[in-house]
Chains A and B, each alone.
Chain A
Amino acid sequence: MTSSPPTAARREQAYVPLTVKKLLAVMVIASCLGAQVYAAAWPSGARWWPFMNYPMYSRSYPPGRTVASYQLRALGCGAEPEARRIGARQLGYRDGHFRGELSAIARDRPKAPRHRARLSRLAGARLTPRPCALQVWGRRAALTRAGVSAAALRDMQWTLLREWRVDYPDSARVLPGP
């Protein structure tokens, strides 16, 4: 009678009894599935990450809704200041937060003064050369019953919505919307 060389499968059984290993595996399985079901049934953002619910893009939209997008632009100093577009990462922002704050400023939400102050502080500290003023520009497109008009998209223009001096965030000028 000859003995075959030990294999990976046999070797792993030699160290720990099979039932104990199965029990441990069952505990991992039950914990993961339980956590995922809990996170999906009782959503709480990223609290229980990496177990989460997945509600992205789940709202429905009828015709007549509009979509707006916003840009932050920094205005240089001097007699003929140049404006340049500022991205979220240049100021140490995440995209989602950044868009939310620009939207709040453009719509004069209650938190707008706080957002303007923070943007001013970050722009003053992080941008070179230091800008003198910040601007929020916006554009808007509509979803009509016939869908989205290609001609309307072509004609879409960026419009200046708000402007304030970096050193005086409360100096926001309200400009006519698009």
Chain B
Amino acid sequence: MSRLLAALDRHWFAPASLRDLALVRILAFGTQTFFFIFFPGGYLRSLEVHLSDPSLLAPPYRPIVVLKVLLLPWGGWGDVQPSVSFLAATLGVAIVAGVLATVGLYARVTMLLAAAANTLRVAHWNSYGDYHHSEGLMIIALNVLAVAPSAAVWSVDAARRRRAEPGARAEPAGGRDDMSVFARWPLRLMQWLIALTYLSAAYSKLRFGGLEWMNGYTMAYHFLGAGMREDREIAFFLATLPPWVHILPSVATVLLELTFFVAVLVPRTAWLYVLAGVCMHLSIYASMGIAFFQTILLYSVFIESLRRYWPRVLRPPLPRLNRGRVVRQAVGRA
């Protein structure tokens, strides 16, 4: 039993680089904020247009649990429907707090605020009977990052602390100074959540579709559907290919989803799964217009495995990009 606990402790709390965590913070909050600034009316689910006149709501307002919880300070359980001005205010908070969280200024508070504002807005979007999956993992990631030491390095807060300390250095700490027992669990948690979502997708395919899901016709049918819905030429073209052409990609999709957890347990394989996952999501986007960019971005939680085991032949030829230091994992020292 004690060996199991020790193994679990190593799995979740072995010292890891705070820089990896900081990198994921910058990517996650930075991207969400970028989308809020440049696509406030669409990409991140703005609903102001629906709220201009409540009598003109197409689908009725049915708040989901998370939204009910977040709106409790403003009224009873499920009684509050956000107004246009309230949503505009949350957009402002998401942008301002998101920028500050990205650069790591007053990060403890701003990360929490940005995570809450993002959660509220997307939860509100999902409270009209129709919901989307693409933001789910990212919203969990923002909240997890907000309660982790994600801004301990590579942040304005860290720079200000360094300057305020006696004998301060201008340069950020390096080597073992940026290792922490609390730098691993947030990334590990997101790795497992990504694996579980893929497992859920594979389980659904095998349960509802069975092995016939890989018969080639199913994929042709989905391409045809995407082409019909949105007049996508590439989807129409793929639908017209002989069904047997789709068998291999179908099998590869199910295998990838079914075994993605191996990337967590065997870090040496992570690069292969990440590469395959990126290819899968990009090809789905190119062919059917279904975007899971947030999931691609969240593959950055495998940064430690990618840095250690990314094959040399796949490294970019630019010498500057290959200069990164390899941080060896110190195991069993908490």
Contacts and interface: CB of A to CB of B under 8 A. Distances in A.
Contacts of A54: 133, 197-198, 200-201, 204
B196 interface: yes
A7 interface: yes
Given A9-B180, A92-B57, A153-B236, A46 B131 contact: yes
B276 interface: no
Given A21-B182, A45-B131, A122-B58, A147 B215 contact: no
Interface of B: 12-13, 15, 18, 49-50, 53, 56-59, 64-66, 119, 122-123, 126-131, 133, 135-137, 139-140, 144, 147-149, 152-153, 158, 161, 165-169, 173, 177-182, 185, 189, 192-193, 196-201, 203-205, 207-210, 212-213, 215, 217-218, 220-222, 224-225, 227-229, 236, 239-243, 334
A1 interface: no
A63 B189 contact: no
Interface size class of A (residues with CB under 8 A): 35 or more
A167 B197 CA distance: 47
- Give the interface centre of A32, A37, A46, A149 by most chain B CB atoms within 10 Å: A46
A26 B135 CA distance: 24
Given A36-B196, A97-B58, A8 B158 contact: yes
A32 B144 contact: yes
A63 B196 CA distance: 32
Nearest to B131: A46
Interface in A84-132: 89, 91-94, 96-99, 118, 121-122, 125-126
B173 A58 contact: no
Contacts of B123: 49
Contacts of B18: 8-9
